[in-house]
Amino acid sequence: MKQKGFAPIFITFVVAIVGIIGYIFYRQGFGPRRITEVFSRPTTLPILQSSPEPFSQLAVYQNSKYGFEFKYPPEVSKNIVTQKVSPPAYYEYLLSIEKDSLSTGNYISLFIENTDSCRNPEHGLPLYEWAMRDIKQSEIKIDNIETTLYEGRGINTNNINEKYMATVCVVRNGYTYSFTSQPSAENAEFARRLLWQVLTTFKFI
């Protein structure tokens, strides 16, 4: 009878020990973590240590179909490319300010989607959660709409691994306007400066 009475006590003791060990492992970081916790470490990119300077001379780009405009330096006029996209692409319109082509690193891409979500339909996550690490977040306004700009390192995107990458999106009237920047290393500073110029002058019309 004494042995039978001892068994529940022993089982309870073992369960308690296992629980304590599991809790310690979890607190030490051995348990599962969210993607944002893994990739949102303080960034070490030198490019992010200072604010980009605005351009002195600016031209205005207007798009009447989707109702927006922004200002940009005239020297990149020939680099602005637009295209209407058909299914199965998840977005319906793309505006790019390219260096050479998307395969070698673009200054800015603006994806316009007929949706009210900033999550990428192919991954089910925002771009920064699956394609970036070492992220710096900046709270900004795009035409008085509050949003967050994510800047950091790209993770093997378009063969531009470990280089500067940025993304931000804003939702308006059932459309999502998603900006990304994935330049090559030698163009990173100019691309970041251009991105900030476009974002701070972007307006819906």
Residues listed for the chain: 205
Does 8 share its domain with 64? no
- Note the pTM of the prediction, 2 decimals: 0.73
Does 86 share its domain with 18? no
State how far the Cα of 132 lies from the Cα of 149, in Å rounded to an integer. 12
At 132 the pLDDT is: 87
Asked if the structure places residue 40 within a domain, the reply is: no
Asked if the structure places residue 195 within a domain, the reply is: yes
Asked if the structure places residue 25 within a domain, the reply is: yes
State how far the Cα of 173 lies from the Cα of 153, in Å rounded to an integer. 31
State how far the Cα of 36 lies from the Cα of 166, in Å rounded to an integer. 15
Task: Give average pLDDT by consecutive 10-residue segment, the chain, 205 residues.
Answer: 59 64 49 41 69 92 94 92 78 84 72 84 79 90 95 68 84 92 88 95 96
131 by Cβ neighbours in 10 Å (0-12 / 13-18 / 19+) ranks as buried
* Domain, as residue range, for 23: 2-32
Q: Based on the structure, what is the number of domains in the chain?
A: 2
- Matching residue, tokens 């990304």: 180
Does 194 share its domain with 93? yes
CA distances from 86 to 89, 90, 92, 126 (A): 6, 9, 6, 22
152 and 192 Cβ atoms separated by less than 8 Å: no
Beta bridge partners of 69: 62, 203
Asked if the structure places residue 102 within a domain, the reply is: yes
Does 27 share its domain with 50? no
Q: Domain of 126: which CATH number?
A: 3.40.1000.10
Asked if the structure places residue 39 within a domain, the reply is: no
Does 25 share its domain with 79? no
Sheet holding 132-142, edge to edge: 80-84, 93-98, 106-113, 175-182, 164-172, 145-154, 132-142
At 20 the pLDDT is: 65
Does 147 share its domain with 69? yes
At 19 the pLDDT is: 62
User: Which residues are CB-contacts of 42 (< 8 A; sequence separation ≥ 6)?
Assistant: 134, 136
